[in-house]
Amino acid sequence: MAHLDFITDPLFYLMAIPAVLIYGIGKGGLGGALGIIAVPLMALTIAPTQAAAILLPILLVMDVFAVRYHYRNADYFVIKQMLPGALAGVVLAGLYMQAVSQSGLKLTIGILSLWFCGQYLLSLLGIANPARGRNNALSATMWGGVSGFSSTTIHAGGGPISIYLLPLRLEKVSLVATMAVFFAILNVVKLIPYAALGEFDANNLSTALILMPLAPLGVVLGVRLLHRVSQARIYQLCYLFLFLSGLKLSVDGINGLL
C-alpha cells in the first residue's frame, strides 16, 4: 500500500477544520484575535510545532488578500517602531522551539493560552491597558517582542500587540491595516525558524494544501456573520474552548516533563 504524504487521522481534521475556519472568520470581520485558538486546538492531536507549521502557509494566503486590501491605510511609522522587538521575538521563539521538548512546548502553549484567557477576562472587567497610550520605543519594543514570540509559537500575536496599539487610538481603518501589514511581514519572517526546524516536509505541506481552501471560506463566513451574530457570544465560546484546550495542553505538558 502506497504511503500517503499527508495526515490521515480523522481526529486531526476534527480539530483542524474548525481551527482554520475560525481563523478565517476572524480575518473576515469578527476580530483577528479569534485565530488564537487555532494552534492549541490542532496541538491536541499532533505536535505543537507541526500544528503551527501546517497553519503558517494558510496564514500567508490570507495575508496576501489582507495586505492587498489594506496596505494603503497602514501606519508604517508605528510598524517600524514595533518590528525590531517583534523580529527579536521571532528569533527567540525559534531558538526556544529548537531547544525545548514537545512536552515543554505543550506546556508553553498551554500557559500562553491561559494567559490570553486571563487577558480577555481582565478586559471584560475593564482593567486599564498597561500600555497607557504611550507611543514610545520601549513600549513598542517590549510588546512587539511578546507578540513576535507568541505569534511564532502559536500564531497568536494579536493580543500582545493590541496592548500597545489600542491606546494609540488609531483610526479604525488604520488600526486594522497596520495589524494586517505587521503580521504579514512577521509571517514571512517566521518561515525561517520553521524551515530551520525541518517542519516544511511533504507531509505538512500536503496537509496544509488540503486545508487551504477553508481559508477563503472562513473569511467569507466572517464577512457574512459580521452583522448577523453576536460577536461577544462568539468570543465567549472561543475563549471557553481556548481555556479548556490550554488546560489540557498544560496538564499533558507537565505529565510529559515528569
Q: Find the DSSP H helices in the chain.
A: 10-25, 38-42, 48-70, 76-99, 102-124, 137-154, 158-165, 172-189, 191-196, 202-211, 214-225, 231-257
- Name the average pLDDT for the chain: 83
**Per-residue confidence (pLDDT) for residue 95, from 0 to 100:** 95
pLDDT at 32 over 80: no
The model's pTM is: 0.81
Give the chain's largest Cα–Cα span. Answer: 61
Per-residue pLDDT reduced to its tens digit, 199-223: 999 999 999 999 999 888 887 777 6
Taking CA atoms, 189 is separated from 60, 61, 88, in Å, by 11, 15, 11
- Check pLDDT > 50 for residue 2: no
Between CA 91 and CA 87 the distance in angstroms is: 6
**Between 118 and 148, where is the model more confident?**
148
The predicted-structure confidence for 143-198, as pLDDT tens digits, reads as follows 999 899 988 988 888 878 877 887 787 887 788 788 888 989 999 999 999 999 99
CB 97 within 8 A of CB 160: no
Per domain, the residue ranges of the chain are 10-257
The answer, yes or no, to whether residue 132 has pLDDT greater than 80, is no
pLDDT > 90 in the chain, percent: 30
For 114-123, what is the mean pLDDT?
82
Taking residue 61's Cβ as centre, other Cβ atoms within 10 Å add up to: 16
Q: Which tens digits make up the pLDDT trace of 74-86?
A: 899 999 999 999 9
